[in-house]
Amino acid sequence: MARKFFVGGNWKMNGDKKSLGELIQTLNGGKVDPNVVCGAPSIYLDFARSKLDAKFGVAAQNCYKVPKGAFTGEISPAMIKDCGVNWVILGHSERRHVFGESDELIGQKTAHALESGLGVIACIGEKLDEREGGITEKVVFAQTKVIADNVKDWSKVVLAYEPVWAIGTGKTASPQQAQEVHEKLREWLKTNVSEAVANSVRIIYGGSVTGGTCKELASQKDVDGFLVGGASLKPEFIDIINAKA
């Protein structure tokens, strides 16, 4: 079965009701075929879900590993679902490297989010010194293993490969670099999870994806979509969504 193209827009800590409202109007007016999920700041999850057409999914950008409790500033999958939102982004490099989240914590969050019925966009990727040191595979396999150890139902998981050196820097991994890692990840899944999961799970690419770079990236055999940062706040997001069209 062909893997359905999947595009996530990660709005990060950007936008207000006015600018996001305008963006949502643009998106609602656009023609889109693939699965598209918009990652809104938690304070705007309700707003985004109520304004976006039903053809779009909405994702939280993070969540905690338990349903409720004395965890000031955190949100739980139960709260996310209560807002009508069905997805969460976990393990983004900014959570790992700016906020110090460990592989172990990301694994625990993944398990709890999936148990709560959310779909998970699970992010992995190496830093520049790791790529230059020749340990890209070692790093992304270790990150993937911790996620895989916490997944029972892979139909609810999208893997996002984001080389950290390409996020927000304007540097994009070449289509060949992206394909190479995606292919190796699929081989890892085949060996360590199952061939069925390796063939069905969507592995999407993130890291300075733009209207200009998206078509060639989308043409790669193992690139099943994108996780888009800055460009997801601009009208060109529609072009990226339709990169495969």
* Sequence-distant (≥ 6) Cβ neighbours of residue 107 within 8 angstroms: 146, 147, 149, 150
Q: Identify the pLDDT of residue 168.
A: 79
CB 65 within 8 A of CB 112: yes
Out of 101, 112, 162, 182, the active site residue is 162
Place of tokens 């999914």: 57
pLDDT, position 173: 87
**Own/partner long-range contacts of 54-57 (Cβ < 8 Å, ≥24 apart):** 56/27, 56/28, 56/32, 57/86, 57/87, 57/119
Those residues whose C-beta lies under 8 Å from the C-beta of residue 189, and which sit 6 or more positions away, are 144, 148, 197, 198, 201
39 forms beta bridges with 10, 59
Whether residue 182 lies in the annotated active site:
no
- 8 Å CB contact between 228 and 9: yes
Rounded to whole angstroms, how far apart are CA atoms 22 and 20?
5
Residue 157 carries which DSSP code?
Answer: E
The dihedral through the CA atoms of 31, 178, 227, 195 has a sign that is positive
**Alpha-carbon span 18 to 15, nearest angstrom:** 8
Question: Is residue 92 annotated as a catalytic residue, yes or no?
Answer: yes
Q: What angle, 0 to 180 degrees and rounded to 10, lies between the N-to-C axes of helices 175-192 and 136-148? A: 50
d(CA 208, CA 155): 27
* pLDDT, tens digit, 9 for 90 and up, residues 139-163: 999 999 999 999 999 999 999 999 9
Our measurement of the distance from residue 143's CA atom to the centroid of its chain's CA atoms, rounded to an integer in Å, reads 14
pLDDT in tens, 4-48: 999 999 999 999 999 999 999 999 999 888 799 999 999 999 999
- The tokens for 118 are 């959310």
Phi, psi of 85 (to 5 degrees): -100, 135
Helix (H) or strand (E) holding 122: strand 119-124
Which CATH entry fits the domain spanning 6-242: 3.40.1160.10, 3.40.50.720, 3.20.20.70, 3.90.1150.10? 3.20.20.70
**CA separation, residue 209 to residues 28, 166, 175 (Å):** 21, 9, 11
SS3 15: coil
Distance of alpha carbon 213 from alpha carbon 145, whole angstroms: 29
* pTM recorded for the entire structure: 0.97
Q: With bands split at pLDDT 50, 70 and 90, how would you rate the model's confidence at 170? A: confident
Compute the distance between CA of residue 114 and CA of residue 65 in angstroms, rounded to an integer: 10
The amino acid present at 185, given as its one-letter code, is: L
Summarize the confidence of residues 52-61 as an average pLDDT: 97
Distance, CA of 158 to CA of 37 (rounded, Å): 11
Q: Which of the following is catalytic: 92, 94, 112, 130?
A: 92
Looking at residue 172, what is its pLDDT? 80
Per-domain boundaries in the chain: 6-242
The mean pLDDT of the chain is: 96
